[in-house]
Amino acid sequence: MSTKELLNKNFQAIQTQIQEATSSAERPADSVKLVAVTKTVPTDTMRDLFALGMKTFGENRTDVLVKKQAELADLTDIEWHFIGNLQSRQVKSIINSIDYLHSLDRLSLAKEIQKRAEDTVKCFVQVNVSGETSKSGFEPSELESTLEQLASYDKIQVIGLMTMAPIDATEAELHQYFKQLKELQTIIAAQKLTHAPCTDVSMGMSQDYPIAIAEGATFIRVGSAFFQE
Ligand SMILES: *Cc1c(COP(=O)(O)O)cnc(C)c1O
């Protein structure tokens, strides 16, 4: 199978899975936005994906993002998502050229964004629901005070919460972590904060996105399922 055929087949399979997962959760199919995580592939492959209709890309390295944006400058309507750990000194290199930041994981980062962003940036606050010490993100117990503090940063719009499940989580644990993130999002959304509408939940990767959809994900970040046999 050629790379293009493989991409096409995988893309179809992912769309079918999304349809099945949304329908068994009694959710509309378009309530889940698919972000193709292209961090492992070159821009040629991204062009192939674009030709198939996939225009939402996620990257996790600032230098790579900048390079790819330049290489794909002729393609219009690409939506760029930054999904990785963002160092404060790298903020200025990307913050005005991305559409979403999935990894707002500390207040010092918010401060730097406030300083560098020209317009409001749509951000997901990253939450460490599993409590793994190696994971970045806020603890659930810190969320309330974090949101209060973010209110003074008018360049940051908290559109939702994001989490990453541990790679070795069991299916039951995945359900539990994703359910917990959804619950936190629902509580915040109910407060109707102007700076934090928090209507969205970014969770689920290649291994677990059907479970994330069952638990209410509105953005899923899928990489390897696009590119692997
Ligand atoms: C790489 C990555 C993904 C995609 O992971 P796959 O397992 O390849 O689907 C999603 N989210 C983040 C933050 C990532 O770094």
pLDDT digits (tens, 9 = 90+) for 83-125: 999 999 999 999 999 999 999 999 999 999 999 999 999 999 9
Instruction: Determine whether the shortest distance from the Cβ of 81 to ligand 1 is under 6 A.
Output: no
Q: Span 199-227, mean pLDDT?
A: 98
Name the residue with tokens 């991409």. Answer: 7
Query: What is the per-residue pLDDT for 200?
Result: 98
Average of per-residue pLDDT values in the chain: 97
Q: Which atom of ligand 1 is nearest to the CA of 84?
A: 13
Instruction: Determine whether the shortest distance from the Cβ of 41 to ligand 1 is under 6 A.
Output: no
Q: Span 61-77, mean pLDDT?
A: 97
Q: Distances from the Cα of 227 to the Cαs of 5, 46, 68, 219, in angstroms?
A: 11, 11, 18, 19
Query: What is the per-residue pLDDT for 134?
Result: 74
User: Do strands 56-59 and 121-126 pair parallel, antiparallel, or not at all (unpaired)?
Assistant: unpaired
61 pLDDT band, cuts 50/70/90, is very high
132 pLDDT band, cuts 50/70/90, is confident
Instruction: Determine whether the shortest distance from the Cβ of 150 to ligand 1 is under 6 A.
Output: no
Residue 131 has pLDDT above 90, yes or no: no
Q: How far is the CA of 71 from the centre of ligand 1 (A)?
A: 22
Instruction: Determine whether the shortest distance from the Cβ of 136 to ligand 1 is under 6 A.
Output: no
Residue 3 has pLDDT above 90, yes or no: no
What type of residue is 95? I
Mutate to test the pocket of ligand 1, among 49, 221, 228, 229 (most ligand atoms within 8 A of CB): 221
Query: What is the per-residue pLDDT for 1?
Result: 79
Q: Span 170-192, mean pLDDT?
A: 98
Query: What is the per-residue pLDDT for 133?
Result: 76
Helix H, strand E, coil C: the string for the chain is: CCHHHHHHHHHHHHHHHHHHHHHHCCCCHHHCEEEEECCCCCHHHHHHHHHCCCCEEEECCHHHHHHHHHHCCCCCCCEEEECCCCCHHHHHHHCCCCCEEEEECCHHHHHHHHHHCCCCEEEEEEECCCCCCCCCCECHHHHHHHHHHHCCCCCEEEEEEECCCCCCCCHHHHHHHHHHHHHHHHHHHHCCECCECCCEEECCCCCCHHHHHHCCCCEEEECHHHHCC
- All domains in the chain, ordered by first residue: 3-227 (3.20.20.10)
What is the rounded radius of gyration, in angstroms, for the C-alpha atoms of the chain?
17
Predicted confidence (pLDDT) per residue in 4-55, tens digit: 999 999 999 999 999 999 999 999 999 999 999 999 999 999 999 999 999 9
Residue 136 has pLDDT above 90, yes or no: no
Query: What is the per-residue pLDDT for 115?
Result: 98
Q: CA 65, CA 79: separation in Å to the nearest integer?
A: 12
126 pLDDT band, cuts 50/70/90, is very high
Instruction: Determine whether the shortest distance from the Cβ of 38 to ligand 1 is under 6 A.
Output: no
2 pLDDT band, cuts 50/70/90, is confident
